[in-house]
Amino acid sequence: MQDLVDLVFSTYPSWSHLVVRVVLGVVFFAHGAQKTFGWFGGHGLSATIGGFRHMNIPPAATALAAFTECFGGLALIIGLLARPAALGLILVMVVAIAKVHGKHGFFLNFAMTPGKGHGYEFNLVLIAMALSILIGGAGALSIDRLIAPLGG
């Protein structure tokens, strides 16, 4: 049982992981809250489900992705269950690349070329940040660290 606790919660008091975790959490919480609650200029869950239906994404998968972004982002901000949250967010981004962004190439569409969406470069950066947390844990000032501290 202790091995499972360590696997999920253990983390060194890394300040760099704190920075990555909090910024990643803010980004995902904001986007997830748009999709889930309609906050920050979003349209809420029903509109999100409607929009994702056009991409042949089932409503249950859409809701799961929206909740993962929102509550996974919140989990990262407070540093609780950071590794499982990071894993969930990586999976959401992999699906986003496969279903939406991959066909548009690597780069974001800064020119806003009509009919061309954003590429996957931003998703890749988010995956790398989440992978850092998945590997190294939540870092300093996290609830995970209170549960299973490592190092000094």
Non-local CB neighbours of 110 within 8 Å, separated by 6+ positions: none
Q: What is the dihedral of CA 39, 43, 46, 50, to 10 degrees?
A: -150
Number of H helices, E strands in the chain: 7, 0
Identify the pLDDT of residue 114: 86
Structure tokens at 14: 């890394």
What integer pLDDT is reported at residue 143 of this predicted model?
97
**Nearest alpha carbon to residue 44 among 75, 66, 64, 68:** 66
Residue 135's contacts (CB-CB under 8 Å, 6 or more residues apart) are none
> Residue 112 has what pLDDT?
85
- Tokens 């995956």 belong to residue: 127
Domain locations along the chain: 22-147
pLDDT above 80 (res 47): yes
pLDDT in the model for residue 120: 93
- Amino acid occupying residue 11: T
**Beta-carbon count within 10 A of 3 CB:** 8
Single-letter amino acid, residue 20? V
Instruction: Report the alpha-carbon distance of residue 41 to residue 104 in Å, rounded.
Output: 25
**Quick one: average pLDDT of 100-117?**
88
Q: What per-residue confidence (pLDDT) applies to 109? A: 86
* pLDDT at site 152: 61
- Residues 55-106: tens digit of each pLDDT: 899 999 999 999 999 999 999 999 999 999 999 999 999 999 999 899 999 9
Structure confidence by residue, pLDDT tens digits, 117-128: 899 999 999 999
Q: Answer for the pair 2, 125: CB distance below 8 angstroms, yes or no.
A: no
Residue 113's pLDDT band (boundaries 50, 70, 90)?
A: confident
Model-level pTM? Answer: 0.92
Tens digit of each residue's pLDDT (9 = 90 or more) over 132-152: 999 999 999 999 999 988 866
